[in-house]
A = this chain, B = another copy of it.
Amino acid sequence: MLPSSNFSKMKAEIITIGDEILIGQIVDTNSAWIADQFNMNGIEIYQITSVHDDHEHILEALKNAEQKVDLVILTGGLGPTKDDITKNTLCEYFNTKLVVHEPTFQHIKKRFTKLKIDMNRLNRDQALVPEMCIVLPNKEGTAPGIWLEKNDTIFISVPGVPFEMKYLIENEVFPRLRNSGKTKAIYHKTVLTQGLPESMLADKLEKWEDALPDNVKLAYLPSPMAVRLRLSATGKDKALLEKLVESEIDKLKKIIPQNIYGYNNETLAEVIGRILVKNGNTLAVAESCTGGLISHLITSVPGSSKFYNGSVTSYSNQVKEKILGVNHTSLNEFGAVSKQVAIEMASGVRTALNADFALATTGIAGPDGGTDEKPVGTIWIAVATREKAIAKKFVFGNNRERNILRSAQTALQMLRKVILKEE
Task: Give me the interface of A with B, judged by CB distance under 8 Å.
Answer: 19-29, 31-39, 44-52, 57, 64, 79-81, 117, 120, 122-123, 161, 163, 188, 190, 198-200, 202-203, 219-223, 228, 230, 232, 285, 287, 290-300, 302-305, 308-316, 318-319, 322-323, 352-354, 366-369, 399-402, 404
Chain B residue nearest to A79 in the complex (CB): B198
B312 touches A310 (CB 8 A): yes
**CB proximity of A244 to chain B, nearest CB, Å:** 18
A22 touches B47 (CB 8 A): yes
Q: In the complex, what distance in Å separates the CA atom of A235 from the CA atom of B22?
A: 19
Known: A199-B120, A296-B293. A45 touches B22 (CB 8 A): yes
Task: Output the residue of A32, A47, A228, A354 with the most chain B CB within 10 A.
Answer: A32
> Which B residues touch A399, using CB under 8 A?
163
B32 touches A21 (CB 8 A): yes
B47 touches A24 (CB 8 A): no
Q: In the complex, what distance in Å separates the CA atom of A292 from the CA atom of B296?
A: 5
A24 touches B35 (CB 8 A): yes
Q: In the complex, what distance in Å separates the CA atom of A223 from the CA atom of B25?
A: 11
B52 touches A35 (CB 8 A): no
Known: A294-B292, A323-B353. A309 touches B318 (CB 8 A): yes
Q: In the complex, what distance in Å separates the CA atom of A188 from the CA atom of B79?
A: 23
B295 touches A123 (CB 8 A): no
Q: In the complex, what distance in Å separates the CA atom of A46 from the CA atom of B296?
A: 37
Q: In the complex, what distance in Å separates the CA atom of A168 from the CA atom of B203?
A: 28
B80 touches A199 (CB 8 A): yes
Known: A23-B45, A198-B81. A315 touches B305 (CB 8 A): yes
Q: Of B22, B32, B49, B311, which contacts A312 at CB under 8 A?
A: B311
> Which B residues touch A37, using CB under 8 A?
24
Q: In the complex, what distance in Å separates the CA atom of A232 from the CA atom of B312?
A: 43
Can you list 16 A-B pairs, Cβ within 8 angstroms, ordered by A? Answer: A23-B35, A24-B36, A24-B38, A27-B32, A46-B57, A80-B199, A117-B200, A120-B199, A290-B299, A292-B296, A305-B316, A309-B319, A310-B319, A311-B312, A312-B313, A322-B354
B309 touches A315 (CB 8 A): yes
**CB proximity of A282 to chain B, nearest CB, Å:** 8
> Which B residues touch A64, using CB under 8 A?
64
Chain B residue nearest to A286 in the complex (CB): B310
> Which B residues touch A20, using CB under 8 A?
219, 221, 230
**CB proximity of A286 to chain B, nearest CB, Å:** 10
A48 touches B50 (CB 8 A): yes
Q: Of B28, B52, B296, B319, which contacts A291 at CB under 8 A?
A: B296
Q: In the complex, what distance in Å separates the CA atom of A367 from the CA atom of B161?
A: 22
Q: In the complex, what distance in Å separates the CA atom of A27 from the CA atom of B314?
A: 32
> Which B residues touch A202, using CB under 8 A?
80-81, 122
Q: Of B21, B163, B313, B367, which contacts A310 at CB under 8 A?
A: B313
> Which B residues touch A22, using CB under 8 A?
35, 44-48
Q: Of B24, B51, B311, which contacts A32 at CB under 8 A?
A: B24
Q: In the complex, what distance in Å separates the CA atom of A315 from the CA atom of B349?
A: 14
**CB proximity of A367 to chain B, nearest CB, Å:** 6
Q: Of B25, B51, B299, which contacts A292 at CB under 8 A?
A: B299
Q: Of B223, B302, B323, B366, which contacts A368 at CB under 8 A?
A: B302
**CB proximity of A393 to chain B, nearest CB, Å:** 18
A49 touches B47 (CB 8 A): yes
Chain B residue nearest to A49 in the complex (CB): B49
Known: A25-B190, A51-B47, A122-B203. A311 touches B309 (CB 8 A): no
> Which B residues touch A46, using CB under 8 A?
22, 52, 57
> Which B residues touch A230, using CB under 8 A?
20, 23, 25
B323 touches A311 (CB 8 A): no
Q: In the complex, what distance in Å separates the CA atom of A103 from the CA atom of B323?
A: 54
